[in-house]
Structure 1
Amino acid sequence: MIKTVAIQGVKGSFHHIVSQQYFNKPVVAIECLTFDRVVESLVSEESDAVIMALENSIAGSIIPNYALIDKYNLHIVGEHYLDIQHNLMALPNQSIMNIKEVYSHPMALLQCKEFFRDYPHIKLVEDKDTAEVAERIHKHQLKKVGAIASVMASEIFELNILAKSIQSIKHNETRFAIVKRTNSEIPENEINKASLKFETDHKRGSLATILNVMSDCKLNLTKIQSLPIIETPWKYAFFVDVTFEDYKDFAKAKAVLKIMTLGLKIFGEYKNAKL
């Protein structure tokens, strides 16, 4: 039973929102400012599960998080998609023209940079977390300072929203993984998505051959991400997500891939949240 969940950020962060939406019963959120600390809490059994953003529809993959899951042999047991709406907020009785600096997570700043071109007087500063900035502004009553964060953060930390949905692309989703120390706990007949990692021979056509195997086994490739193998320059591992209608098709593909690839690793077998 999940009782404690580690999140990157504080209450009001997008990871915190996912922790409230994904689980059927209330869970205690352990606030962490870095993903390394998030994973540390899981490995040390301080938390029962962790939530980690893996990719965003605007900014792409969050590669260091794939590496953390791999390094500590963790398992993806579920996923959750969240509509990310970034809002500019500050203490009450201030306007955008009063704001001199805006602090937020680098990903949030990247997604909102177009908005700030109309406000060249505002300096953008990278910070560790969206909601943590909102908390700091509230705690220290920082004037002329803005945060980019969720509506929930503005409500928790009593800030006024100066501009809503300021991200460049209005339909902005992030995919979050629910990660545990052990593998999937759901019945086999409910599993229709899997995350895996493998390496290929350094030969022409090796990756294409593997992708053909997946296609022949009726797997739908929803994501492929390469990651450098640090110990071997210019050689890469591939992180792949696949969906399927019948688990038997995946089991067949898995058996073939064990033979055809190097170091096949199954990160998780779970329910596809994007139907």
Structure 2
Amino acid sequence: MNKIIAIQGAEGSNHHKVARDFYGAAIQLKECMSFDVLVDSLLDNSANVGIMALENTIAGSIIPNYALIDKNDLHIVGEQYLNIHHHLMALPNQKLEDITEVCSHPMALLQCKEFFKKYPHIKLIEDVDTAEVAKRISKNNLKGVAAIAPKIAAEIFELEVIEDEIQTIKDNATRFVIVQTEKPNNGKDAINKASIKFQLDHKRGSLAAILNVLSDCKMNLTKIQSLPVIETPWKYSFFVDVTFDEYEAYEKAISIIKIMAAEFKVLGAYKNGRR
């Protein structure tokens, strides 16, 4: 049976591109307009796996998604890094001068703000999803309207790219994780990265002690993110990503941290997407 893959956004979005890169072109999508809906589709078994953006080199961590993964006991089974490219697209045979409106997600508009300063005749309109706009332009034959979206959207909806790479900062990447409700059977040979979560008592040096354990066990710390514990003011959970060369060293590290920390949890052990 083919996997049903839940993505945030519509067909032709960056989440769709990640799903295709990770699982191949022959996939069945479930489009979700929010990450909450995406998680619900996993919990009610209407989707098998979900694709969630987790951090961006410009915008930083998408903190609510850490909380969603933790609260709903989802397992991270893999990750994918995607360079973000913004392209201006519209119905064929139109020039930039013909465009009067550009609709897109607020983040895409923000990341392309410098480009549009040169074209004051174009009105910028916020919308829910980049690819959804591209689909609407194609379906309703909207002339004079353009979308900011990945090239995959232009291919799917038969639009023409008017301008390539209009983002202000050219080196912009997002890390996506693949999540599911069931614990995966990732083979130890394929695992060289893990995401863990723990809480610590509010004592001097408690976090430093954990970091020393990771260092002693030859773990490479690639990410640390703190989130407040809602029920307990001034207490924090830490979400940590580590990479490693030997699975046995990772097992040793988590066995020690389990003793030292409170509320310890492995969110996922998987293959490093940057190797």
TM range (shorter): over 0.9
3-state SS of paired residue (1:211): helix
Letter in 2 for 1:192: N
What do residues 69-100 of structure 1 show as CA deviations (whole Å, max 9, x unaligned)? 11110000011112221101122343333433
**How far does residue 128 in structure 1 lie from its aligned partner after superposition?**
1.9
CA distance in 2 between partners of 1:237 and 1:101 (Å): 44
- 1:251 is matched by which residue type in structure 2? E
State the shift of 1:244 in Å. 0.4
Percent of aligned pairs with the same amino acid: 61
Task: Using the TM superposition, give the Cα deviation of residue 174 of structure 1 relative to its aligned residue in structure 2, in angstroms.
Answer: 1.5
Matched with 1:195 is 195
Does 2:116 align with 1:116?
yes
CA distance in 2, matches of 1:163, 1:45: 40
Instruction: Find the aligned partners of 2:246 and 2:29 in 1 and give their Cα distance.
Output: 35
Do residues 161 (structure 1) and 156 (structure 2) align? Answer: no
Structure 2 length normalisation: TM-score? Answer: 0.93
**1:212 aligned partner:** 212
Runs of at least 5 residues in structure 1 that lack an aligned partner in the other structure: none
Q: Summarize the Cα distance change of 1:97–1:227 in structure 2 as closer, same or farther, 3 Å threshold.
A: farther
- What corresponds to 1:6 in structure 2? 6
Q: What is the rounded CA distance, in whole Å, between the counterparts of 2:204 and 2:67 in structure 1?
A: 26
Match of 1:97 in 2: 97
Task: Give me the CA root mean square deviation.
Answer: 1.8
- The amino acid across from 2:34 in the alignment is T
Tell me the alpha carbon deviations over residues 124-156 of structure 1, each in whole angstroms, 9 at most, x when there is no partner.
333221101111122222333221101111122
Range 118-127 or range 56-65, more displaced: 118-127
Question: C-alpha distance in 2, partners of 1:127/1:229?
Answer: 33
Q: Distance between the aligned counterparts of 1:211 and 1:116, measured in 2?
A: 45
Moved more, 111-120 or 49-58: 111-120
Residue 125 of structure 1 aligns with which residue?
A: 125
- For 1:252, the aligned partner's letter is K
Code of the aligned partner of 2:266: I
TM superposition shift of 1:113: 2.3
Which stretch shows the higher mean deviation, 122-131 or 213-222?
A: 122-131
Q: How does 1:221-260 map to 2 (within 5 A)?
A: 221-260=221-260
Deviations along 1:55-81, one digit per CA (max 9) or x if unpaired, are 122222111211111111000001111
User: Is the 1:90–1:145 contact (alpha carbons within 8 Å) kept by the matching residues of 2?
Assistant: yes
Residue 26 of structure 2 aligns with an amino acid whose one-letter code is P
Classify 1:218/1:27 alpha carbon distance in 2 versus 1 (closer, same or farther; 3 Å): same
Where 1:128 maps in the other structure, the secondary structure is coil
On the 8 A contact 2:91/2:138 being kept in 1, the answer is yes
Equivalent residue letter for 1:273: G
Q: Does structure 1 residue 33 correspond to structure 2 residue 16?
A: no
Quote the Cα distance in structure 2 between the aligned partners of 1:273 and 1:215: 22
Query: Residues 2 and 28 of structure 2 are in contact (CA less than 8 Å); yes or no, is this contact kept in structure 1?
Result: no
Distance 2:40 2:99 in 1: 37
Contact 2:76 2:179 in 1 (8 A): yes
Letter in 2 for 1:216: D
Which range is displaced more, 135-144 or 90-99? 90-99
Matched residue of 1:97: which SS? helix
| Paired residue secondary structure (1:194) | strand
Give the counterpart letter for 1:231 in structure 2.
Answer: E
What TM-score, normalized to structure 1?
A: 0.93
SS of equivalent residue, structure 1 residue 203: coil
Give the aligned partner of residue 180 of structure 2.
180
Pair 150,231 (structure 1): closer, same or farther in 2 beyond 3 Å: same
Using the TM superposition, give the Cα deviation of residue 106 of structure 1 relative to its aligned residue in structure 2, in angstroms.
2.8
Aligned residues: 275
CA distance in 2, matches of 1:204, 1:265: 22
Q: Is the 8 A contact 1:59 1:110 kept in 2?
A: no
Kept in 2, the 8 Å contact 1:194–1:268? The answer is yes
Deviates more, 1:71-80 or 1:118-127: 118-127
Letter of the 1:84 counterpart: I
1:197–1:264: 8 Å Cα contact kept in structure 2?
A: yes
* CA-CA distance at 1:115 after TM superposition: 2.1
Aligned-residue offset at 1:24: 5.1
SS in 2 for 1:168: coil
Deviates more, 1:263-272 or 1:228-237: 228-237
For residues 121 and 226 of structure 1, do their structure 2 counterparts lie closer, same or farther at Cα, with a shift above 3 Å needed? farther
